[in-house]
Amino acid sequence: MSYLHGSGVGGGMPTTPVPHEAQERLLHTEQSYARKQQELQSLVQTRASTPMSAAESGRNSSEIAQLQQTLRQMEAEINTLKATNLRQMATIKTQSEAIANPKKHYVTPVRFRDNQPHGTMPSRDLSQVMPPQSAQSYNRRTSDSIPRQQPYLATAPLLPSAHDPQPQPTNIHDPFCANRNASWNQQLTYQPQGPQVQQFPMGYHTTPTGPSRGSHGSHGTPFKAHGSNQGMFGSQPQVQQPSNPQSMALVPASVTTEWNAVKAQLAKVWGMAEAFSRSHVNIPSTARDNAMPQKLKDTLLNAATRTTAFQFMSTPLYRYFLVTKVIVQWLMNNVLKVDSFAGFDTNTDRVIESCRNQIYQSTPAQVKFQLLTTIGQQMAVLQQNPRFETFLLKLARDRGNMLWPDLQMMMHQKSSRDWDDLLSLMTEAHRTALLMYSGPDEYRYEMPQHGQPFTKETMEPRDSYMNGHTPEQLEAMGTTVRLAFTPHVTVRTNLPNGHVTSRTLLPAYVLLKVGK
């Protein structure tokens, strides 16, 4: 989940609750309340002991009524502060207990079968040997690569979950059917993935080497020209793999699989946004651009800078990329969020909001793992609802209508293909958001600024004339960012054993210039 700029769990930069601040505010409010009570008593005594005219009596009554109203408001504020103080103390107590007594997860392959004192009972069915599977275990990921068994569900999920890269067969009548007896011990045996490295202490962050990028000239996603009877989103961009295999040895194989799935989806969405701009954005026209509404001009200025926006809008190539950045920023702010599907199920919204409110910057990794896993389970519950697919498509259509006015003024002659392609983009973005927040992951988006030095670890050049230079040569040449139209995406995963691992998921796609 994104953990910066309000795009992830918590809705912004998380902070640890500071109890003394709430206590000081409560004390200050109580003191003000006492002073107002004294003023009210003084006014009542003055009115009772002093003869007054009708006008003076009316003014005195008005002052007394205002003080009484103020006292009622302050009393409500005091009650709210007391409740806030109690919640903060409870949160700190829970985090302290979690740090002092971390939850341990053990894998015991022989616990229920081969650990019996006289061996396994003959002619006993495996479903009687193994314990019943809990209802919450279908979306839980442990720190090893043990494959999970899906619980009995009458309705299969409509969308693939990030925790299930391959579909699992389900026996409706017997979830622990006899044909799994022979392979059960093999499934419970831990298989190490890749070369083993020294385990880091709990709480230390490990930042593996970023992915390698081959040819920097391609634009990632092919698209169809006008007049083609096929959509422009017919093929999926190639996903680049990490260059250093040993850097991922600490991460379980299931986590790496989920990262690759989210990486492929995000790269697909970025490519669809770029292909949409290339296919539908019109060529520069001074008269047409001057007729744009001021709101759209402000949006373009925010995407670039006041000194470069006019230059980008006047150049066809940069114009496409600038509109791509507008689309990507809109998706980051409105779609790729943990609460993107709020409004479908009240109970699910309540659970997700409760988990978000309990996550702070100093929350232990094991506690955060439990909270984020609960959010992922709620995402799975949404997918299992037969009505959710219809809700997702309606949400994509409604949000496409919200983005349409910002793009309409910069399009070619209108056709049905414009809206169809935008709807496909919005639908894919919503499916990506559902995949991103199905596990204990947090995401951060960082958009490189104009004039920022190029770094090969976090950026990928998209200039065609830069093909002959390697990333190392571009750094040595002192190239800087002219325009970044996608963000640098990093992912941070909290593991149940207390480790926190982070890495670059996707580099920022940038246009460069030599020199400053």
Using DSSP's 3-state secondary structure scheme, residue 366 falls into: helix
Q: What pLDDT, in 10s, does the model give residues 343-359?
A: 999 999 999 999 988 88
* pLDDT, position 75: 87
How high is the pLDDT of residue 229? 40
What's the DSSP call for residue 199? P
When pLDDT is averaged across residues 357-376 and rounded to a whole number, the result is: 88
- Indicate the pLDDT class of residue 161, thresholds 50, 70 and 90: very low
pLDDT value at residue 392 = 95
The rounded distance, in Å, linking the Cα atoms of 301 and 322 is 10
Which position has the higher pLDDT, 40 or 166?
40
pLDDT of residue 471: 86
Alpha carbon dihedral 140, 141, 144, 148, in 10-degree steps, equals 60
Question: Does residue 486 have a pLDDT over 90?
Answer: yes
Q: What is the tens place of the pLDDT at every residue in 296-317?
A: 888 888 888 877 888 888 888 7
CB atoms near residue 280 (< 10 Å): 22
pLDDT of residue 423: 93
pLDDT (tens digit per residue) in 79-124: 888 888 888 778 777 777 777 676 554 444 444 444 444 444 444 4
Amino acid letter for position 355: C
Q: For the whole model, what pTM was predicted?
A: 0.54
Residue-level pLDDT at 131 = 44
Given this model, what pLDDT does residue 102 score?
63
pLDDT in tens, 190-232: 344 443 333 333 333 333 333 443 333 333 333 343 333 444 5
Q: Give 23's pLDDT tier (boundaries 50, 70, 90).
A: confident
What's residue 110's pLDDT? 40
Helix (H) or strand (E) holding 474: helix 471-476
- In this model, does residue 403 exceed pLDDT 70? yes
Choose the weakest-confidence range: 9-13, 155-159, 262-266, 443-447.
155-159
**Tens-digit pLDDT profile for residues 427-460:** 999 999 999 998 888 999 999 998 899 999 999 9
Residue with the larger pLDDT of the pair 273 and 309: 273
Q: How many CB atoms lie within 10 A of CB 186?
A: 9
Q: Would you kindly state where each structural domain of the chain is located, as residue ranges? A: 1-87, 213-513
Res 30 pLDDT > 60: yes
Q: Are the C-beta atoms of residues 259 and 503 closer than 8 Å to each other?
A: yes
Q: How far is CA 468 from CA 2, 460, 465, 473, in A?
A: 35, 14, 7, 10
Instruction: Specify the pLDDT at position 4.
Output: 42
| 3-state helix/strand/coil string of 36-97 | HHHHHHHHHHHHHHCCCCHHHHHHHHHHHHHHHHHHHHHHHHHHHHHHHHHHHHHHHHHHHH
pLDDT at 294 over 50: yes
The per-residue pLDDT for 235 is: 43
- Give dist(CA 209, CA 91) in Å, integer: 35
CA distance 407 to 324: 10
**pLDDT tens, position by position, 250-262:** 555 556 667 788 9
pLDDT of 82: 85
Beta carbons of 487 and 460 less than 8 angstroms apart: no
* Six-digit token string for 386: 């037969």
Give me the pLDDT at residue 2, please: 46
Residues 463/317, Cβ–Cβ less than 8 Å: no
Q: What is the mean pLDDT of residues 461-480?
A: 82
Q: Residue 327 has what pLDDT?
A: 95
Q: Which of 29-38, 102-111, 163-172 has the lowest mean pLDDT?
A: 163-172
Q: CA 105 to CA 137: how far, in whole Å? A: 13
